[in-house]
Amino acid sequence: MSSGVKPGKYFVQGDEAIAEGAIAAGCRYFAGYPITPSSETSEALARRLPEVGGICMQMEDELASIHSVAAASVGGLKSMTVSSGPGISLKLEGLGWGIKNEIPFVVVDVQRAGPSNGVATRVGQGDFYTVRYGSAGGNYCLIALSPKSTQEAFDLTIECFNLSEIFRCPVFLLTDETVGHTRELLVIPEESELKIVERIKPAVPPEQFLMYPLETPEVIHYPFPNIGEGYGICVSPYTHTSKGYASTTQEIQEKMARRLVLKITRNLDRLVRVETRYTEDANFAVVAYGGNARPAMAAVDLAREKGMKVGFFRPIIVWPFPDGEVLKIAEKVKTILVCELNIDGQLSREVDRAARGKAEVYHLGSGGVEPHLPSQIFNEIRRLSA
């Protein structure tokens, strides 16, 4: 199959950049169900995937989409699905199947204002915890990346695919309507400049291979044999032994749960990616992620122009949460203002937890529909600095 990479400069939406990122990463199976504001990704892939010999399916619902995507990955194709709030609620079931069976694939959540159907066409940031903790049963960690621009939507989609192969797990691209629908410059580099991680295959014969490395829970870059490769793989919804056989013992449950958590928590150094600005001398920090990071950065620039010592912090890999990086900021500044598009306080709760009382953490929330205005954020910075 061809790489499908089309180097050049494009003026496109974030949703379309995600589609191109997926193609470049080697995605050759996509299944979705129409939902605003993510449908542009499905539409772009419906045009592009057949060109590169890939498969694009519109399934009967969100459950079918994610389950078929996970299965196509077991079949040997890099795969992806996209959705938004109400659809993500449904996809969480298939996510659990992917997490438990350590199946690499990518789920894109283009967040919109919620709860329930909310405002379908407008932005929100209410799924921060949903993607991390939504799959029932606990006993797992999850990786999620969040872009702030069309360019990052492309770059981070590729990174999601790479991390899903390295860690053998579903990875979220947690974006939002602002990024999804913002039309701006996308530069697609030459194929040779892209770093693509291919699926790792067993180096040992089937009789020596264990599908699930329960005895070495921290190991990453672990092979994933697909069906038809002679490894007799077992994939199921049940707690499994190293071979994939269902088990009801506490010992196996413990080992499997530890594997699903420790493969991520013991490799956290591979999973820290943040953006900081003006933090060296700051006594006040603004924290935001995704599309809402842009008005937040504009507000910080405005504050700097007024001579205020304000810094900016943005998690790019939002899960696992960059506790250490947040703590470093909290130790420097007196006040942290978290700007996000939900009223209940999600990112701000994580920041508050990670700050360990070293700084005062404030939540500037909004129910969504519009992103924050730089002036709103600036006024809050001024109010809290007074």
Partner 1 sequence: MSTDGETTQSLHPLVSKYLRKERMPHMACPGCGIGQILHATLLAIDDLGLTPKDTVWVQGVGCSSRITYSTWIGDNIDAHHGRIFPVATGLKMARPDMNFILFTGDGDCGAIGGNHFIHACRRNLDVTAILFNNGIYGMTGGQVAPTSPVGAVTTTTPYGNIEDPFDMCRLAMAAGASYVARWRSTDFRPLFNSIKKGIQTRGLAFIEVLVQCPTNFGRYVLKTSEPKEVLRWIREHSIYMKDAENLSPEELDGKYLLGEFLHRTDRVGIVDRYQEFLKKYRKD
Residues at the contact surface with partner 1, assessed by CB under 8 A? 1-2, 4, 29, 31, 50-53, 55, 57, 59-61, 63-65, 67-77, 79, 93-94, 96-97, 226-228, 230-238, 244-246, 248
**Pick 2 or 281: Cβ nearer partner 1:** 2
To the nearest whole angstrom, how small is the minimum distance from the Cβ of residue 145 to partner 1? 23
To the nearest whole angstrom, how small is the minimum distance from the Cβ of residue 121 to partner 1? 27
**Pick 67 or 372: Cβ nearer partner 1:** 67
Among 201, 239, 267, 198, residue whose Cα is nearest residue 101? 239
**Pick 196 or 302: Cβ nearer partner 1:** 196
CB 89 within 8 A of CB 110: no
To the nearest whole angstrom, how small is the minimum distance from the Cβ of residue 94 to partner 1? 7
**How many Å apart are CA 346 and CA 360, to the nearest integer?**
16
**Pick 96 or 371: Cβ nearer partner 1:** 96
What is the three-class DSSP state of 160? helix
Show the tokens assigned to 304. 């700097």
Backbone angles phi, psi at 307, to 5 degrees: 85, 10
Among 74, 1, 70, residue whose Cα is nearest residue 224? 74
**How many Å apart are CA 73 and CA 77, to the nearest integer?**
5
To the nearest whole angstrom, how small is the minimum distance from the Cβ of residue 233 to partner 1? 5
Neighbouring-strand partners of residue 27: 78
Q: With b meaning 16 or more CB within 10 Å and e meaning fewer, what string describes 160-195?
A: bbbbbbbbbbbbbbbbbbbbbbbeeebebeeeeebe
**Pick 224 or 362: Cβ nearer partner 1:** 224
Q: How far, in whole angstroms, is CA 22 from its chain's centroid?
A: 13
**Pick 226 or 385: Cβ nearer partner 1:** 226
Measured in residues, the chain has a length of 386
**How many Å apart are CA 78 and CA 98, to the nearest integer?**
13
Backbone angles phi, psi at 36, to 5 degrees: -75, 140
Cα dist from 137 to 105, 133, 201, 234, 239, whole Å: 20, 9, 30, 21, 11
To the nearest whole angstrom, how small is the minimum distance from the Cβ of residue 243 to partner 1? 8
To the nearest whole angstrom, how small is the minimum distance from the Cβ of residue 102 to partner 1? 14
To the nearest whole angstrom, how small is the minimum distance from the Cβ of residue 96 to partner 1? 8
To the nearest whole angstrom, how small is the minimum distance from the Cβ of residue 234 to partner 1? 4
